[in-house]
Structures are given as C-alpha cells and as structure tokens.
C-alpha cells in the first residue's frame, strides 16, 4: 500500500531564513511519481514539481530546490531565503504507475513566514 | 483562459438536498478526478475518469456519483446531502501515466 508522510505539521520561520519541508513515502511499485503542491491561503492547489522514480537528480528552480533520495524514500523540499508569499500549506504526493494514477497526498505542512 | 474550472465556487445547502458541482478542463487531458479536502486539509481521491470510463472508485458513499458527458467534463452529483459532506471538493485533470494533475479552484460545500 502507498503512503506519504509529512511529519512536520507546522513550521514558522522568519523572512529570509531557509526552510526544508520533509516528505517520506512508501510504495511497492518500482515506477512511481512524486509531486509537491502549494496551497496558499486563497485555497487553490498549485503544482510545483513532478519527479519520476528513475530520476534522482536534485532540482533547483529559483529559490526552490528538491532533494530526492530513493535510499531513504524521501523527497524533501527546500525554500531558500523565504518570503512572506511562501506562507502556505505544502503537500507532498505520490502516484503509482499501476492503477488509476491517483495522487496520494501527505497531510501537508503549514509554513508561516514571519516578516 | 482557465485550464480547469469548477462551478459553483461556494455551495451552501440544507441536509437532504441534492446538488451538483460542475468541472471542465480545456487542456485536452484524458483523465479527470475528484478529490475531497476535509476540515483538517486532508486530500483524498474520490473518483477518476478516463475517456468517459470510471477507472477507480474509492470507498465513497453511493450518494456521490460522477457523470462525464465528454472528455472535457466531469461533474459530481451528490444525493441526500449530510453534514459530513461539508468539505472542499477539487476537480483535477491529467494525461494518463503519472503525468501532472492540474487542479480546479475548488468548491466549498457547506451542509447545514
């Protein structure tokens, strides 16, 4: 069975600090996909990144970076020099290659960036 | 142009009523989904449709029924609404095969 764990329920940082959001997943599939979504206070779900299980390269996009490690089944997300606009709930999600490719979400991490 | 749209954005209704939420995508995707987000922000898949066929149906009450008139639309009909149905319902779409799912803005349902 698949599972996504985001152990950090809430994190508060002061603006310009770096912050890492943790994500640990479980799956029996050898082919799977990992995602991060952002849900700002306005409520929409914004896609941030997709990674397939065969690509362990880390990725950087502006102030955002992602560290995918299959050995520890983790897909962590780092925001560098955080800004108030980064305040949101962040969800990590898993999709398996078998079945309907539904997204299985973690419980989310609420990030508050204090000015 | 909005990629995935939902109507209405807010829905307030009485227990026992029947209601529908509409979803449309203009991305040319093959698959559409409905997710429910509860008051604790937990997101859970309800249904997914691929080329007008239901391909998975999670353990949701049969009061909920998805209806897809064509590949670009997946509506959610709810019969005999209950207090516990109060939540935010998100529609999403994607290509098959683990591709990225893009979400609509959500419909906030409140059952009184």
CB B25 within 8 A of CB B4: yes
A-interface mutation test, from B37, B42, B43, most A Cβ less than 10 A away? B43
pLDDT of residue B52: 67
Selection from A41, A62, A73 nearest residue A49 by Cα: A62
Tell me the pLDDT tens digit for each residue of B101-111: 999 999 999 99
Average pLDDT, chain B: 91
Determine the average pLDDT of the residues in B56-82. 89
Is the pLDDT confidence value at B56 over 80? Answer: no
CA distance B110 to chain A (A): 16
Is the pLDDT confidence value at B1 over 70? Answer: no
pLDDT less than 50: residues of chain A: none
The verdict on B69 touching A (C-beta cutoff 8 Å) is no
CA B59 to CA A112: how far, in whole Å?
34
CA distance B27 to chain A (A): 15
CA A8 to CA A22: how far, in whole Å?
7
pLDDT of residue B99: 84
CA distance A110 to chain B (A): 10
CA A75 to CA A54: how far, in whole Å?
13
CA B44 to CA B58: how far, in whole Å?
9
Least CA distance to B33: which residue of chain A? Answer: A102
Selection from B20, B15, B14, B16 nearest residue B91 by Cα: B20
Tell me the pLDDT tens digit for each residue of B86-102: 999 999 999 876 789 99
- Cβ pair A43:B105 closer than 8 A: yes
The verdict on B102 touching A (C-beta cutoff 8 Å) is yes
- Cβ pair B56:A100 closer than 8 A: yes
pLDDT of residue B53: 76
**Which of residues A47 and B1 earns the better pLDDT score?**
A47
Write out the DSSP string of A47-112. Answer: EEEEEETT----EEETTEEEEEEGGGTEEEEEESS--GGG-EEEEEEEEESSTT---EE---EEEE
The verdict on B5 touching A (C-beta cutoff 8 Å) is no
CA A78 to CA A89: how far, in whole Å?
14
CB A112 within 8 A of CB A22: no
CB A110 within 8 A of CB A89: yes
């Amino acid at each position: 069975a698949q599972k996504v764990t985001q152990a950090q329920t809430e994190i508060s940082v002061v603006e310009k600090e770096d912050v890492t959001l943790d994500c640990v997943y479980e799956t029996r599939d050898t082919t799977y996909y990992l995602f991060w979504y952002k849900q700002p206070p306005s409520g929409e779900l914004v896609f941030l990144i997709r990674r397939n299980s065969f690509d362990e390269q880390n990725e950087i996009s502006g102030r955002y970076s992602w560290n995918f490690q299959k050995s520890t089944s983790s897909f962590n997300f780092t925001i560098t020099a955080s800004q108030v606009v980064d305040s949101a709930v962040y969800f990590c999600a898993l999709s398996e290659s078998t079945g309907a490719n539904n997204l299985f979400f973690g419980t989310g991490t609420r990030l508050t960036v204090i000015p | 142009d909005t990629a995935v749209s939902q109507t209405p954005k807010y829905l307030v209704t009485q227990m026992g009523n029947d209601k529908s939420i509409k979803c449309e995508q203009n991305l040319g995707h093959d698959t559409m989904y409905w997710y429910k987000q509860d008051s604790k922000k937990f997101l859970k898949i309800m249904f997914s449709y691929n080329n007008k066929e239901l391909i998975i149906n999670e353990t949701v009450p049969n009061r909920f029924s998805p209806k897809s008139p064509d590949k670009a639309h997946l509506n959610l009909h709810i019969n005999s609404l209950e207090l516990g149905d109060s939540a935010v319902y998100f529609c999403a779409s994607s290509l098959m095969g683990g591709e990225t799912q893009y979400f609509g803005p959500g419909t906030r349902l409140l059952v009184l």
